[in-house]
Structure 1
Amino acid sequence: MIIGGFESIVDDRAGGATGYADGYIVPVPDGNKDAYRAMADKASEVLRDYGATRVVEAWGDDVSDGKVTDFNRAAHKQDGESVVFSWVEWPDKETRTAGWEKVMADERMKPDESNMPFDGKRMIYGGFVPIVEA
Protein backbone atom coordinates (compact mmCIF):
# COMPACT_ATOMS: atom_id res chain seq x y z
CA MET A 1 0.00 0.00 0.00
CA ILE A 2 1.23 3.48 -0.84
CA ILE A 3 -0.13 6.31 1.32
CA GLY A 4 0.44 10.06 1.14
CA GLY A 5 -1.17 13.39 1.86
CA PHE A 6 -1.69 15.97 -0.87
CA GLU A 7 -2.84 19.61 -0.86
CA SER A 8 -5.43 20.29 -3.58
CA ILE A 9 -4.20 22.96 -6.00
CA VAL A 10 -6.98 22.45 -8.60
CA ASP A 11 -10.43 20.93 -7.98
CA ASP A 12 -12.63 21.64 -10.96
CA ARG A 13 -15.91 19.73 -11.05
CA ALA A 14 -19.28 19.52 -12.73
CA GLY A 15 -22.25 17.51 -11.58
CA GLY A 16 -22.81 13.83 -12.21
CA ALA A 17 -21.59 10.46 -11.05
CA THR A 18 -18.17 9.02 -11.72
CA GLY A 19 -18.17 5.89 -13.87
CA TYR A 20 -14.48 5.96 -14.77
CA ALA A 21 -11.36 7.71 -13.50
CA ASP A 22 -7.89 8.42 -14.82
CA GLY A 23 -5.21 8.69 -12.16
CA TYR A 24 -1.63 9.84 -12.36
CA ILE A 25 1.37 10.88 -10.34
CA VAL A 26 4.26 13.01 -11.52
CA PRO A 27 7.27 14.59 -9.79
CA VAL A 28 7.45 18.37 -10.25
CA PRO A 29 10.36 20.66 -9.29
CA ASP A 30 9.28 22.79 -6.32
CA GLY A 31 10.21 25.95 -8.22
CA ASN A 32 7.74 25.00 -10.98
CA LYS A 33 4.64 24.80 -8.75
CA ASP A 34 3.04 27.95 -10.20
CA ALA A 35 3.85 26.91 -13.78
CA TYR A 36 2.46 23.43 -13.14
CA ARG A 37 -0.71 24.89 -11.64
CA ALA A 38 -1.20 27.18 -14.67
CA MET A 39 -0.75 24.21 -17.00
CA ALA A 40 -3.14 22.12 -14.86
CA ASP A 41 -5.80 24.86 -14.92
CA LYS A 42 -5.60 24.98 -18.73
CA ALA A 43 -5.71 21.19 -19.03
CA SER A 44 -8.69 21.03 -16.68
CA GLU A 45 -10.66 23.37 -18.90
CA VAL A 46 -9.90 21.27 -21.98
CA LEU A 47 -10.71 17.99 -20.22
CA ARG A 48 -14.04 19.35 -19.00
CA ASP A 49 -14.82 20.66 -22.50
CA TYR A 50 -14.63 17.04 -23.70
CA GLY A 51 -16.68 15.35 -21.00
CA ALA A 52 -14.66 15.10 -17.78
CA THR A 53 -16.84 15.77 -14.75
CA ARG A 54 -14.02 16.54 -12.31
CA VAL A 55 -10.30 17.27 -12.41
CA VAL A 56 -8.23 17.26 -9.22
CA GLU A 57 -4.55 18.16 -9.01
CA ALA A 58 -3.00 17.73 -5.56
CA TRP A 59 0.52 18.82 -4.47
CA GLY A 60 2.40 16.45 -2.15
CA ASP A 61 2.02 17.69 1.42
CA ASP A 62 2.65 14.63 3.60
CA VAL A 63 4.38 12.03 1.42
CA SER A 64 6.62 9.83 3.53
CA ASP A 65 9.09 7.18 2.49
CA GLY A 66 7.72 3.65 2.76
CA LYS A 67 9.52 0.45 3.69
CA VAL A 68 9.19 -1.22 0.26
CA THR A 69 7.72 1.42 -2.06
CA ASP A 70 6.05 4.83 -1.94
CA PHE A 71 4.93 7.72 -4.13
CA ASN A 72 8.43 9.22 -4.12
CA ARG A 73 10.09 6.06 -5.42
CA ALA A 74 7.30 5.30 -7.85
CA ALA A 75 7.77 8.72 -9.47
CA HIS A 76 11.59 8.68 -9.15
CA LYS A 77 11.35 11.93 -7.16
CA GLN A 78 14.62 13.83 -6.85
CA ASP A 79 15.74 16.40 -4.26
CA GLY A 80 13.88 19.69 -4.74
CA GLU A 81 10.81 18.01 -6.24
CA SER A 82 7.32 17.23 -4.94
CA VAL A 83 4.98 14.50 -6.12
CA VAL A 84 1.66 15.58 -7.63
CA PHE A 85 -1.24 13.12 -7.36
CA SER A 86 -4.11 13.79 -9.73
CA TRP A 87 -7.24 12.27 -11.14
CA VAL A 88 -9.84 12.99 -13.79
CA GLU A 89 -13.40 11.73 -13.34
CA TRP A 90 -15.57 10.77 -16.31
CA PRO A 91 -19.21 9.63 -16.53
CA ASP A 92 -18.10 6.36 -18.19
CA LYS A 93 -15.20 4.75 -20.06
CA GLU A 94 -16.70 5.51 -23.48
CA THR A 95 -16.82 9.25 -22.71
CA ARG A 96 -13.26 9.05 -21.40
CA THR A 97 -11.96 7.28 -24.52
CA ALA A 98 -13.66 9.73 -26.89
CA GLY A 99 -12.73 12.68 -24.68
CA TRP A 100 -9.01 11.86 -24.57
CA GLU A 101 -8.91 11.54 -28.35
CA LYS A 102 -10.31 15.07 -28.64
CA VAL A 103 -8.09 16.41 -25.84
CA MET A 104 -4.93 15.14 -27.54
CA ALA A 105 -5.98 16.77 -30.84
CA ASP A 106 -6.89 20.10 -29.23
CA GLU A 107 -4.46 22.94 -30.01
CA ARG A 108 -4.65 24.15 -26.40
CA MET A 109 -2.92 20.94 -25.31
CA LYS A 110 0.06 21.16 -27.66
CA PRO A 111 3.06 21.04 -25.32
CA ASP A 112 5.71 23.73 -25.28
CA GLU A 113 8.66 21.36 -24.92
CA SER A 114 10.94 24.25 -23.98
CA ASN A 115 8.72 25.22 -21.04
CA MET A 116 7.43 21.94 -19.53
CA PRO A 117 7.11 22.24 -15.73
CA PHE A 118 7.82 18.51 -15.21
CA ASP A 119 9.58 15.48 -16.71
CA GLY A 120 6.85 13.57 -18.53
CA LYS A 121 8.98 10.43 -18.73
CA ARG A 122 8.46 9.94 -14.99
CA MET A 123 4.66 10.35 -15.10
CA ILE A 124 2.69 7.26 -14.07
CA TYR A 125 -0.93 7.02 -15.22
CA GLY A 126 -3.78 4.60 -15.70
CA GLY A 127 -7.54 4.22 -16.04
CA PHE A 128 -9.71 2.87 -13.23
CA VAL A 129 -13.27 1.62 -12.78
CA PRO A 130 -14.71 2.75 -9.42
CA ILE A 131 -15.68 -0.11 -7.10
CA VAL A 132 -16.74 2.04 -4.12
CA GLU A 133 -18.31 5.48 -4.43
CA ALA A 134 -19.89 7.19 -1.45
Structure 2
Amino acid sequence: MNYIDCFLAPVPRANKAAYEELARISAKVVTEYGALNVIECWLDESGPDVSSYHGAETKQSQVEYGSFVAAAGARQGETVVLSYVEWPDKATRDAGMVKVTNDPRMQFGDQPPAFDGRRLIAAGFKPMQLGVRDA
Protein backbone atom coordinates (compact mmCIF):
# COMPACT_ATOMS: atom_id res chain seq x y z
CA MET A 1 0.00 0.00 0.00
CA ASN A 2 1.29 3.48 -0.86
CA TYR A 3 2.62 5.75 1.86
CA ILE A 4 2.41 9.54 1.88
CA ASP A 5 4.71 12.07 3.55
CA CYS A 6 2.94 15.41 4.05
CA PHE A 7 4.57 18.74 4.81
CA LEU A 8 3.13 22.10 5.81
CA ALA A 9 5.49 25.05 6.07
CA PRO A 10 5.29 28.81 6.40
CA VAL A 11 7.46 30.41 3.71
CA PRO A 12 8.26 34.09 3.22
CA ARG A 13 6.51 35.27 0.06
CA ALA A 14 9.75 36.96 -0.99
CA ASN A 15 11.45 33.53 -1.03
CA LYS A 16 9.15 31.90 -3.57
CA ALA A 17 11.86 31.47 -6.24
CA ALA A 18 14.35 30.11 -3.70
CA TYR A 19 11.73 27.69 -2.36
CA GLU A 20 10.87 26.51 -5.88
CA GLU A 21 14.55 25.78 -6.55
CA LEU A 22 14.86 23.87 -3.28
CA ALA A 23 11.68 21.94 -4.18
CA ARG A 24 13.03 21.04 -7.65
CA ILE A 25 16.21 19.63 -6.13
CA SER A 26 14.30 17.80 -3.41
CA ALA A 27 11.84 16.27 -5.87
CA LYS A 28 14.68 15.02 -8.05
CA VAL A 29 16.45 13.44 -5.09
CA VAL A 30 13.42 11.76 -3.50
CA THR A 31 12.30 10.27 -6.82
CA GLU A 32 15.82 8.88 -7.35
CA TYR A 33 15.42 7.10 -4.00
CA GLY A 34 12.02 5.58 -4.74
CA ALA A 35 9.29 8.23 -4.44
CA LEU A 36 6.54 7.87 -7.03
CA ASN A 37 5.29 11.45 -7.05
CA VAL A 38 6.03 14.83 -5.47
CA ILE A 39 3.47 17.62 -5.28
CA GLU A 40 4.32 21.13 -4.09
CA CYS A 41 1.49 23.62 -3.54
CA TRP A 42 1.86 27.37 -2.90
CA LEU A 43 -1.24 28.69 -1.12
CA ASP A 44 -3.69 30.49 -3.41
CA GLU A 45 -4.38 33.44 -1.12
CA SER A 46 -7.13 34.65 -3.46
CA GLY A 47 -8.62 31.17 -3.57
CA PRO A 48 -12.11 30.04 -2.65
CA ASP A 49 -13.73 31.10 0.58
CA VAL A 50 -13.44 28.30 3.15
CA SER A 51 -17.23 28.20 3.53
CA SER A 52 -17.46 26.86 -0.04
CA TYR A 53 -16.20 23.53 1.31
CA HIS A 54 -19.19 23.13 3.64
CA GLY A 55 -22.86 22.34 3.15
CA ALA A 56 -25.51 24.94 3.90
CA GLU A 57 -26.37 23.35 7.26
CA THR A 58 -22.78 23.47 8.51
CA LYS A 59 -21.64 26.88 7.28
CA GLN A 60 -20.15 29.13 9.93
CA SER A 61 -18.94 32.68 9.88
CA GLN A 62 -15.55 33.10 8.20
CA VAL A 63 -13.73 33.76 11.50
CA GLU A 64 -14.92 30.44 13.00
CA TYR A 65 -13.02 28.30 10.51
CA GLY A 66 -9.45 27.13 10.94
CA SER A 67 -6.93 27.91 8.24
CA PHE A 68 -3.73 26.56 6.79
CA VAL A 69 -2.12 29.91 7.56
CA ALA A 70 -2.94 29.51 11.25
CA ALA A 71 -2.02 25.81 11.29
CA ALA A 72 1.38 26.56 9.77
CA GLY A 73 1.94 29.52 12.08
CA ALA A 74 2.55 31.84 9.14
CA ARG A 75 3.57 35.33 10.14
CA GLN A 76 3.35 38.68 8.40
CA GLY A 77 5.00 38.43 4.99
CA GLU A 78 4.67 34.64 4.90
CA THR A 79 2.36 32.26 3.10
CA VAL A 80 1.96 28.49 3.25
CA VAL A 81 3.34 25.64 1.21
CA LEU A 82 1.68 22.24 1.34
CA SER A 83 3.69 19.36 -0.07
CA TYR A 84 3.39 15.66 -0.30
CA VAL A 85 5.56 12.81 -1.45
CA GLU A 86 3.98 9.55 -2.54
CA TRP A 87 5.97 6.38 -1.95
CA PRO A 88 5.10 2.83 -3.07
CA ASP A 89 5.09 1.66 0.57
CA LYS A 90 6.43 2.58 4.02
CA ALA A 91 9.50 0.34 3.74
CA THR A 92 10.59 2.12 0.54
CA ARG A 93 9.92 5.46 2.22
CA ASP A 94 11.97 4.61 5.29
CA ALA A 95 14.93 3.34 3.26
CA GLY A 96 14.66 6.20 0.77
CA MET A 97 14.50 8.94 3.40
CA VAL A 98 17.70 7.70 5.05
CA LYS A 99 19.40 8.17 1.68
CA VAL A 100 17.63 11.49 1.00
CA THR A 101 18.65 13.07 4.30
CA ASN A 102 22.26 11.96 3.78
CA ASP A 103 22.50 12.99 0.13
CA PRO A 104 24.94 15.90 -0.35
CA ARG A 105 22.43 17.63 -2.67
CA MET A 106 20.06 17.94 0.29
CA GLN A 107 22.59 19.78 2.44
CA PHE A 108 21.75 23.44 1.88
CA GLY A 109 24.04 24.89 4.57
CA ASP A 110 25.92 27.14 2.13
CA GLN A 111 22.71 28.89 1.00
CA PRO A 112 20.40 31.27 2.80
CA PRO A 113 17.38 29.26 3.95
CA ALA A 114 14.23 29.52 1.82
CA PHE A 115 12.18 28.92 5.00
CA ASP A 116 12.70 28.10 8.65
CA GLY A 117 12.89 24.31 8.75
CA ARG A 118 12.30 24.31 12.51
CA ARG A 119 8.73 25.43 11.77
CA LEU A 120 8.05 22.65 9.26
CA ILE A 121 5.11 20.40 10.17
CA ALA A 122 5.53 16.89 8.77
CA ALA A 123 3.95 13.47 9.16
CA GLY A 124 3.49 10.18 7.37
CA PHE A 125 0.05 9.01 6.30
CA LYS A 126 -1.45 5.68 5.30
CA PRO A 127 -3.98 6.23 2.48
CA MET A 128 -7.48 4.95 3.09
CA GLN A 129 -8.85 2.50 0.56
CA LEU A 130 -12.29 3.89 -0.28
CA GLY A 131 -13.16 1.73 -3.28
CA VAL A 132 -13.48 4.76 -5.57
CA ARG A 133 -11.70 4.46 -8.90
CA ASP A 134 -10.98 6.88 -11.70
CA ALA A 135 -13.40 6.60 -14.62
The structural deviation recorded for 1:80 is 1.3
Q: How many residue pairs get matched?
A: 117
**Root mean square deviation, CA, Å:** 1.9
1:31 corresponds to which of 6, 11, 14: 14
- Worse-matched range after superposition: 33-42 or 117-126: 117-126
* 1:38-77 equivalent positions in 2, closer than 5 A: 38-61=21-44, 62=47, 67=64, 69-77=66-74
Give the unaligned 5+ runs of structure 2.
Answer: 51-61
The aligned counterpart of 2:94 is: 97
Relative to the length of structure 1, the TM-score reads: 0.80
Q: Which runs of 4+ in 1 moved over 3 A?
A: 63-66
CA distance in 2, matches of 1:66, 1:97: 39
The structural deviation recorded for 1:78 is 0.8
Question: Which structure would you say has the larger RCO, counting Cα contacts within 8 Å and 6 or more residues apart?
Answer: 2
Give percent identity, aligned residues only.
Answer: 42
Give the unaligned 5+ runs of structure 1.
Answer: 1-17
The structural deviation recorded for 1:121 is 1.5
Relative to the length of structure 2, the TM-score reads: 0.79
Name the one with the larger strand percent: 1
Q: Give the counterpart letter for 1:34 in structure 2.
A: A
Q: Give the counterpart letter for 1:52 in structure 2.
A: A
User: Whose radius of gyration is greater, 1 or 2?
Assistant: 2
